[in-house]
Amino acid sequence: MRKLKLQELNRVDNDTYKKQPKTPLVLVLDNIRSGLNVGSAFRTSDGFGLEKIYLCGITATPPHKEILKTAIGASESVAWEYSETTLETILNLKKQGFQIVAIEQVDQRTWLQDFKMDFGKKYALVFGNEVDGVSEEILPHLDACIEIPQMGTKHSLNISVCVGIVVWDFFKKIKYE
């Protein structure tokens, strides 16, 4: 066994990547405090070929030092858009036919592993602030709310880890089920 060299990975350049078919998912980052978390979301989005990232409220936008550090160039390949409010973004995405799914701990949540997708629809996954979660004002506009089961004492995951878990689960369902 040996590690593959970078040239053996057959990665495409940014122009080719932008023209490739995308996974029908977008991310909505709702007031994310850490640019490192935003950069990680870009990198995950690039890895799974997501359509776009919406950066809302206080969420940092490229070129930001912390985003560039963790995105490692993914902020150049993944389409993104900034909006002052998450609610505005959610309402616009709903008009475009997206199913709006937040990852949050609420009384009417669905466990991630139990969430059933409608494969004819596009999904917008909303990830909230590291302390306060998703904005309260968007809750009435959600089509679903997902929670990742946890057994520890903290009852929360870092957003970068959460994005990775949820995007992988959706990607797997879209591509392999």
Q: Which distant-in-sequence residues (6+ apart) come within 8 Å of 96 by Cβ?
A: 122
- pLDDT for 119 equals 87
pLDDT above 90 (res 79): yes
Residue whose pair of structure tokens reads 């959600």 in the numeric block: 142
Strands of 80-83's sheet, edge to edge? Answer: 80-83, 50-56, 23-30, 123-127, 99-103, 144-147, 110-111
- pLDDT for 6 equals 86
Q: Class assignment of domain 20-176?
A: alpha beta
Q: How would residue 177 be classed by pLDDT, with cut points 50, 70 and 90?
A: confident
pLDDT above 90 (res 160): yes
Query: What are the boundaries of each domain within the chain?
Result: 20-176
Paired residues of 83 in beta bridges:
56
pLDDT above 90 (res 45): yes
Share of the chain above pLDDT 90, in %: 92
Q: Say how far apart CA 158 and CA 162 lie, in whole Å.
A: 6
* Of 63, 53, 54, 62, nearest in space to 84 by CA: 54
pLDDT digits (tens, 9 = 90+) for 97-155: 999 999 999 999 999 999 999 988 999 999 999 999 999 999 999 999 999 999 999 88
Q: Radius of gyration of the chain from Cα atoms?
A: 16
- pLDDT for 143 equals 98
